[in-house]
């Protein structure tokens, strides 16, 4: 134990140093967690669900009438098995908040008469659109087997 009397100024300086070190450690933890989150999301750990939607042959998007063939709702949710496998042997297990882990997000997509898949707005983008989509690719998508070229991945998102 230090028996030497310390002034208020000395104690205040020590307290400020301790607070600064605490902030630096917290910032380091935050950066490590953000890097792990980015690394995990780069593995594309999602489960997709596709459901049919009511959509007429013509729809109004952004003030333009568009002739469509079909409309679906595509959603994604983090695959918890992949999340647990990723975090199992790591010191940080809470790289994604629990409410985000449990949440399913998505948006409506439609196929135009010209064979272009596009999103309708008002949701979270799951697929990379607009782009050309063959009838076969659309059928695969509707069946829940989304062609890789439509998936939004870290290395091919625009």
Give mean pLDDT, residues 12-25.
Answer: 92
Query: Is 22 within a domain?
Result: no
**How far is the C-alpha of 71 from the C-alpha of 44, rounded, in Å?**
24
118: in domain: yes
Give per-residue pLDDT as tens, 6-15: 888 888 988 9
Strand (E) or helix (H) holding 139? helix 135-142
Task: Answer yes or no: is pLDDT of 157 > 50.
Answer: no
- Residue 157 in any domain: the answer is no
- Residue 65: per-residue pLDDT: 77
Report yes or no: 157 and 149 within 8 Å, Cβ to Cβ: no
User: 125: domain range?
Assistant: 46-150
> Is 58 a domain residue?
yes
Over residues 72-115, the pLDDT tens digits come to 999 999 999 999 999 888 877 788 988 889 999 999 999 999 99
12 belongs to a structural domain = no
Structurally, the chain folds into a number of domains equal to: 1
The token duo for 92 is 């940080």
Using CA atoms, how far residue 80 sits from 41, 88, 141, in Å, is 12, 12, 23
140, part of any domain:
yes
The pLDDT > 70 percentage for the chain reads 89
Q: Print burial letters for 75-108: b (CB count within 10 Å at least 16), e (below 16).
A: bbbbbeeebeebbeeeeeeebbeeeeeeeeebbb
pLDDT at 153: 78
Give φ, ψ of 111 to 5 degrees: -110, 125
**pTM to 2 decimal places:** 0.75
pLDDT surpassing 50 at residue 23: yes
Residue 156 pLDDT level (bands cut at 50, 70, 90): very low
Q: What is the pLDDT of residue 55?
A: 66
Q: Is residue 119 part of a domain?
A: yes
4 within a domain of the structure (yes/no): no
């Amino acid at each position: 134990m230090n028996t030497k009397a310390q002034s208020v100024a000395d104690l205040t300086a020590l307290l400020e140093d301790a607070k600064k070190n605490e902030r630096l450690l917290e910032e380091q933890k935050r950066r490590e967690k953000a890097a792990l989150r980015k690394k995990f999301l780069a593995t594309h750990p999602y489960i997709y669900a596709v459901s049919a939607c009511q959509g007429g042959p013509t729809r109004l998007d952004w003030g333009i009438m568009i002739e469509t063939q079909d409309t679906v709702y595509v959603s994604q949710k983090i695959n918890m098995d992949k999340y647990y496998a990723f975090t199992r042997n790591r010191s940080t297990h809470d790289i994604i908040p629990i409410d985000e882990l449990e949440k399913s997000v998505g948006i409506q997509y439609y196929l135009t008469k010209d064979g272009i898949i596009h999103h309708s707005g008002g949701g979270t983008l799951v697929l990379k659109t607009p782009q050309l989509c063959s009838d076969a690719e659309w059928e695969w998508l509707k069946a829940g087997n989304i062609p890789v070229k439509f998936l939004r991945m870290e290395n091919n998102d625009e």
